[in-house]
Chains A and B, each alone.
Chain A
């Protein structure tokens, strides 16, 4: 199978489409109120991640060291020698000097918080009162999807996963008959496989839970 797009862009399209569709559907089902909550969450999380990233990482590392401290040395008053001997104060769960680790941690925090908000909106949000509110909700959901894709996708999908020949134009080759495009389908399949499997499982579970019939209450 030949692809007319470089593998990285196909990943972007797939992820972008999924995000926009999901938020559009949630907006249609729960109206503009839920989407405003999601917008507020996105803005707050973005501000937190941009302005207070160091504080967040320090806080997580502090929690980690505290747990290690209690687990290794107990809560005794004379645990000072134990702490010094185990060098707990040097241990970190997120290395602030490693850009890869910090990016992954901030991305994970962002996505987890946003997923929690989305689930709460789905669970506790009220259905919209009219078709106009549904349409507004869907429009706001699509807008949220665009903003989220703009903020997260450059962090989540790394170009270095799909190395492309320098200077080679995929478009130029796309219309040459019989030419196999660079990495083509195999590279797309290789780099997108885990993401596709993850999205299949997540979307199936969300759909399945949505359609489950509640247990009957015995009177």
Chain B
């Protein structure tokens, strides 16, 4: 197993444990936030970057984000850091948490575990996506050596959630909010 697959599995495992401890009503609030952030990044991420680049280019007299040898690394880090920052805040908040508590017994544990795994999949998958589309710029920092393993290329890259969910996010986000409100 290469390092990225190990990181993927470890992250999913960590978030599964977090889900069991916190309970799935609170985890569903994080899921809502993750989907909303994905919607924002996929629809407006590039526009935000261009705005930021426009502002910075007035100071540096050249395009700071879209030109230069570190362009891919900067763009990739922008998406990943923005995503992690908002998800981190959502783990500390209660606003979008679904009211109520998990049922007692094995069903509650199973639902908690599944919600943790789902969030872990979305979080680690999103970070992988923003490394993948910029051709793994972390290799310039010595944190990754290409190529991906055959296992990763065949089975994990096709499972990256962002390109699969992108057309449906406009429906998924309102759906999650409706489910929270109706409950």
Spell out A's residues near B (CB within 8 Å): 108, 111-112, 115-116, 119, 122-123, 189-190, 193-194, 197-198, 201-202, 204-209, 211-215
Contact = CB atoms under 8 A, between A and B. Distances in A.
Contacts of B67: none
Contacts of A208: 24-25, 28, 111, 114-115
Contact of A197 (B31, B102, B165, B171): B165
A215 B165 contact: no
A8 B168 CA distance: 20
Contacts of A112: 171
Contacts of A122: 182
B99 A206 contact: no
Contacts, number: 75
B171 A108 contact: yes
A194 B168 contact: yes
A143 B100 CA distance: 34
Q: Identify the 7 closest CB pairs spanning chains A and B, nearest first.
A: A212-B100, A194-B164, A213-B101, A123-B182, A209-B183, A211-B103, A198-B168
Nearest to B99: A215
Chain B interface residue count: which class? 20 to 34
Given A209-B98, A209-B183, A214-B99, A119 B164 contact: no
Contacts of B176: 205
A119 B182 contact: yes
A213 B164 contact: no
A189 B158 CA distance: 9
B103 to A, nearest CB: 5
A193 B176 CA distance: 21
Given A123-B182, A198-B172, A206-B179, A212 B98 contact: yes
Contacts of B107: 211
Contacts of A190: 158
A215 B118 contact: no
A198 B122 CA distance: 12
Nearest to B23: A212
A213 B103 contact: yes
B100 A214 contact: yes
Nearest to A212: B100
26 contacts: A111-B171, A115-B175, A116-B178, A119-B179, A122-B182, A123-B182, A190-B158, A193-B158, A194-B165, A197-B164, A197-B165, A201-B31, A201-B172, A202-B175, A205-B28, A206-B179, A208-B28, A209-B28, A211-B102, A211-B108, A211-B111, A212-B98, A212-B101, A212-B102, A213-B102, A215-B100
Contacts of A201: 31, 118, 172
